[in-house]
Amino acid sequence: MNTLSWTSPWLLAVLLPLVAVAGAWAQRVWTARSTRARRKLPEHWPLAIRSVVNSEEARVWHWLSRAFYDHHVLIKLPVTRFTLPREKQESMDWYKLLGGVYCTFTICRADGRVVGCVDVPGSVGIPRSTRAVKQSLLNQCHLPYWVVRSNSLPTVAEIRAEFLGESSMSQAMREREMEERAIIAAQNNLRTAIHRQRSTRHSDFGPLSNWPSSQAGEPRSDMPSQWQDNSFLMPLDSRRGDLL
């Protein structure tokens, strides 16, 4: 009895660290398994497809696509995609601050350079603080920032002059270029339609020598049974016209 009492404190002193280590190891294993379980891809995603823009934004989007026909209109692009911190060590701090800031539409050139941003306010408008951040940031980057609604759109000349620095003469030349492109496209479509019609017409008529000859005493208008009821004859004039 005395021996057991003497050795119990030493036994506890040895067992307690072992129990603590075993508990810590078990906790670590359980945490790792839980983390892997959360990161495991689900068999059925609890998500559904939705439109990138609402109806109000879509109307402005279509108008911008026509106004900036020679540019790209990007949808809901974060400002961190086209801005860069001057100090590299501050990148993560600025990313945390601006990572969720985006404009409804961003206009950029073919080389990826942004020329301006457009916001479409929702039913409750744009929060004053959010609007102030965008105005301050984009103005210092020398990028125009406009807020527009589909029922009060500016003119194409106004927004192109602000975003691209075009003069009224440049705008007139752009409009004339668009008209010429539309005429050329219409001519190409007409030429393609005529060519398709000629190809279809030629493929529908076989040579006359393949028709079966009429039997004696039978009228030549009798057709073999394999002809469909809606078959009919057409002139075989395939000469080119003056316009083709």
Q: By the 8 A CB rule, do 115 and 164 touch?
A: yes
**More confidently predicted of 149 and 19:** 149
What is the rounded CA–CA span in Å between residue 159 and residue 64?
9
| Sequence spans of domains, the chain | 55-166, 167-201
How confident is the model over 150-194, as pLDDT tens digits?
999 999 989 999 999 987 666 666 666 667 677 877 888 888 888
Q: Which CATH class is domain 55-166?
A: alpha beta
Q: What is the pLDDT of residue 49?
A: 92
Identify any residues that bridge with 132 across adjacent strands, giving them in sequence order.
none
How confident is the model over 220-243, as pLDDT tens digits?
444 444 444 443 344 444 444 444
Q: What is the pLDDT of residue 69?
A: 92
Query: Mean pLDDT highest for which of 2-11, 14-23, 198-207, 233-242?
Result: 14-23
Looking at the chain, the whole-number percentage of residues with pLDDT higher than 90 is 39
